[in-house]
Every structure is written in C-alpha cells, then in structure tokens.
C-alpha cells in the first residue's frame, strides 16, 4: 500500500489534530495534516465565494455531490475540532438540524453571513462541496488531542 508523504511524516513526528486516516482525497488529507491548533478550515457549499489568498480543495462533482454534511462527517472523524461557526441564516435551511446533530455538542458560534465570509479570508483552506443549499457552510477551528 502506497502512503502519501503527509501520512509518513506528521509534524514533529506526531499528528496532534488528526484522529485517523480514513480520508481518501490526498489534497484534503494534506490540508488536515497541516492544520495546527486554532487553524480554521471551512467546509463550503458550492456557492461560497473563495478569497484569492485562501487555498481551495474542490471536491464538488455535481449539485449535491458530495453534500456538506457528508464531508463534515468525514472531517469530524479525522480532525479534532475545538469549535465551529456558521451563518445564522443557516438556521432556516433544511440541513441545520442534521448539522447540529453531527456537531454533537461542539461549541458553535452563529454569525451574519457577511461576517462569516470575512472570517473565511483567514482560513487555512476552504473545502468546496457540491452542496446546493444556501448558507450550508461551516468554519471549523482545529483543536488538539491532548
């Protein structure tokens, strides 16, 4: 089995933010491996504007594939998440209840959509999904496993 370089040599010999290695997409895995404590990673719907200075990992295939919730579930299994932020407009969307359940009590801040977009400018990366639900975006703050 071939192992990606980011899997062979975690930062300082130990990955402190990754839980496991189930993610198959090499670019997404590389971004998660690079994440340090308090780094922001955004899982975005297909319409969120991408700031020029922020790395884009584009997973979108077509409308709905993959969904934001599917990608969030995979990332949550791999990344230690300290907190999250969403636009308060997401409350009105059908994905909101599933999102809250998936976050399983993780502290989640609600912001205006404009403030959410401002915060994406300092993200380590934005992961674009095929989600076509408005405001279905989440900004994750990486935590540590100790």
Question: Residue 30 phi/psi, 5° resolution?
Answer: -65, -40
- What is the distance between the alpha carbons of residues 134 and 41, in angstroms, rounded to a whole number? 19
Closest residue by Cα to residue 31 from 44, 18, 22, 19: 18
Burial of 87 (0-12, 13-18, 19+ CB in 10 A): buried
Each residue of 21-65: pLDDT tens digit? 689 899 999 999 999 999 999 999 999 999 999 999 999 999 999
Q: Where are the domains of the chain?
A: 38-142
- What is the distance between the alpha carbons of residues 48 and 132, in angstroms, rounded to a whole number? 10
Active site residue 37: yes
Instruction: Enumerate residues 6+ apart whose C-beta is below 8 A from 117.
Output: 48, 49
- What is the distance between the alpha carbons of residues 10 and 5, in angstroms, rounded to a whole number? 9
Predicted TM-score (pTM) of this structure: 0.86
Active-site choice (37, 49, 73, 144): 37
Do strands 108-111 and 81-87 pair parallel, antiparallel, or not at all (unpaired)? parallel
CATH assignment, 38-142: 3.40.1650.10
Q: Pick the residue with more confidence: 64 or 7?
A: 64
To the nearest whole number, what is the mean pLDDT of the chain? 90
């Amino acid at each position: 089995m071939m192992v990606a370089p980011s899997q062979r040599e975690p930062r300082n010999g130990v990955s402190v933010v990754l839980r496991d290695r189930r993610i198959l997409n090499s670019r997404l895995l590389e971004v998660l491996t690079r994440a340090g404590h308090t780094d922001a990673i955004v899982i975005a719907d297909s319409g969120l504007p991408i700031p020029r200075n922020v790395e884009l990992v584009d997973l979108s295939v077509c409308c709905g594939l993959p969904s934001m919730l599917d990608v969030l579930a995979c990332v949550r299994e791999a990344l230690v998440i300290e907190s999250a932020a969403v636009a308060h407009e997401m409350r009105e969307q059908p994905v909101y209840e599933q999102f809250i359940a998936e976050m399983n009590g993780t502290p989640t801040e609600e912001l205006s959509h404009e403030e959410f977009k401002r915060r994406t400018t300092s993200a380590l990366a934005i992961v674009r999904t095929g989600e076509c639900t408005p405001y279905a975006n989440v900004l994750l703050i990486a935590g540590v496993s100790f």
